[in-house]
Amino acid sequence: MHAPRPLTSRKAGALSGTIRVPGDKSISHRALMFGGLALGETRITGLLEGEDVLATAAAMRAMGATVTRDGDGQWRVTGVGVGGLSEPDAPLDLGNAGTATRLLMGLIAAHPFTAFMTGDASLRSRPMARVTVPLEQMGARFVTRSKGRLPLAVIGTATPTPISYTLPVASAQVKSAVLLAGLNTPGETSVIEPEPTRDHTENMLRHFGATVRVDETPEGRKATLVGQPVLKAADVVVPGDPSSAAFPVVAGCIVPGSDIIVAGVGLNPLRAGVFASLRDMGASIDEVNPRVEGGEPVADLRVRYAPLHGAEIPAHRAPSMIDEYLVLAMAAACASGRTILRGLSELRVKESDRLAAIAEGLTACGAIVTVAGDDCIIDGTGTPPKGGVTIGAKLDHRIAMSYLILGAVTEQPIRIDDAAPVDTSFPGFADLMNSLGLKIAAEA
């Protein structure tokens, strides 16, 4: 347990300046894992040094990889080869890292040893059955709490079997877990997804030398990995995390007079749905200096304030912005007219029930919000809600950050009861936002 760290956000003037957000969390996790499986030394620049990613680094060390940080912030990983991980001496504590947990379950499943995994209260409440089901088809076994929850034991198999698995729900984490189990599995392992999800795993596997095919089929997008490749060390430059960039971008969109630049943001089309959605609402977001870094499209985002209007955000966009709906809802609460966010069932099983967090928190702030099935309807008046409330973060970093952004435009301050979880994905969040002109402060 940690001591709560309350923060309060107050109304700010026009924002200005240039910032760089922390490295992409999804890519950071994968860089450490694939570097830990590759032969030779992988150098990683721009790694997100949040608690979630550091948990992955610790887990890879515990299973035999060498992971070190240089004084200049560059990370070095010396791998053990595909199939070379060793049984950890102690349980792997993943903290709040859901991505790390699910991907590591896949890695471990195809190794002939047993590993125990646990995490914080939030992670221990999250369902893991969607991962265990396909991995059990490949030969692994799991012992879990009820509903597939942590703590759990992964009992890996010495004779993994390749499968072709169709995702029942779009999930990059489940897809990646199956493909990672396929690394140490003979033959070809395939995952079919009805809705395309982020493809960092496929991109980075190729970067390290694996053969991955992607085909469009009548059932959906099919990713196929040729098993037991020789992965070779490959340097990785981690772009700015689009999920983290969404917070200053929304701030620039809703605070009158703002003109900011968020530099070096990863713009993988399967991750950039929030920026498309904001543009649908009338936001002024320009891509400057587009380039490719580490196999991923990157650009600097110039964001200027413009009045927002309501829009209907389609369900098919959800996989490309599943972590950004909370902060998008803050923008919708400041827009004029009705915004409908469709297909949000996945928000109910994130670090917290984020759909409830949108409805309850915005309603408390004075906004008009309706939840109809898996859709969230926000009726904006063209002016921000009044604020003046304390929001319970529920150990969820994105709840905390989203409402701190909203507090920059509400007439009355918004207080977050505990912002400590922000360090899992965005260390230094308050200071970086304040450098643009926000007014986020700890209580005296």
Distance CA 242, CA 247 (A): 9
Flag whether 323 is marked binding: yes
Question: Helices (H), strands (E): how many in the chain?
Answer: 13, 24
Flag whether 126 is marked binding: yes
Question: What backbone phi and psi angles, to 5 degrees, belong to 130?
Answer: -60, -25
Flag whether 398 is marked binding: yes
* DSSP class of 437: T
Looking up tokens 């001591």 gives 3
Distance CA 189, CA 252 (A): 43
In 119-211, beta strands by DSSP E: 141-143, 152-155, 164-166, 188-193
Flag whether 354 is marked binding: yes
Distance CA 375, CA 422 (A): 26
Report helix angle 25-37 to 200-207, nearest 10.
40
Nearest of 353, 334, 356, 337 to residue 406 by alpha carbon:
334
Catalytic annotation present for 379 = no
Count other Cβ atoms within 10 Å, centred on residue 197: 26
Asked if residues 79 and 233 have their Cβ atoms less than 8 Å apart, the reply is yes
Flag whether 149 is marked binding: no
H-helix segments, 38-146 = 51-62, 98-109, 121-124, 129-137
Nearest of 119, 112, 115, 114 to residue 91 by alpha carbon:
115
Flag whether 26 is marked binding: yes
- Looking at residue 162, its amino acid is P
Q: Which is catalytic among the residues 120, 199, 323, 418? A: 323
- Cite the annotated binding site by residue number: 25-26, 30, 98, 126, 171, 173, 323, 350, 354, 398
Binding-site residue ranges for phosphoenolpyruvate = 25, 98, 126, 173, 354, 398
**Binding positions for 3-phosphoshikimate:** 25-26, 30, 171, 173, 323, 350
Q: Which residues are the active-site residues?
A: 323
